[in-house]
Amino acid sequence: CPYMKMNSLDALLSVVRTVGVADDDLAPYRPHEYTELIAGRTAADIGGEPILHMRAFSREGRLPAALVEDVTTRTPKAAAPRGSDASA
């Protein structure tokens, strides 16, 4: 996707190793790893899905079939009443 640049922690560590910084010195900067599942999937998996759709759109010049199917077959969920705390 030309609008986002995705980097991996492994790629960052490979650059850091070339300048002599120990991996342990970077430990405080590691992202929190969420283990909770949402409908059987991790938050990272769910969050990465739109990025994959954008990449496919950029590559193919049309909406990916998986995105179209998801949007056209998704069932609406009941909205929480205004002013309520949906997480409670």
Query: pLDDT tens digits, residue range 26-42?
Result: 788 788 888 889 989 99
Helix (H, G, I), strand (E, B) or coil at 41: strand
What is the helix (H) or strand (E) element at residue 38, kind and residue range? strand 37-38
Does residue 78 lie within any of the structural domains? Answer: no
What are the respective helix, strand and coil percentages of the chain, to the nearest 5?
50, 5, 45
Alpha-carbon span 13 to 64, nearest angstrom: 33
Whether the per-residue pLDDT at 1 is higher than 50: the answer is no
Does residue 36 lie within any of the structural domains? Answer: yes
Does residue 83 lie within any of the structural domains? Answer: no
Total number of domains in the chain: 1
Domain span holding position 62? 9-72
Does residue 58 lie within any of the structural domains? Answer: yes
Range 14-17, long-range pairs (CB < 8 A, 24+ positions): none
Q: Is the pTM of this model over 0.85?
A: no
Does residue 63 lie within any of the structural domains? Answer: yes
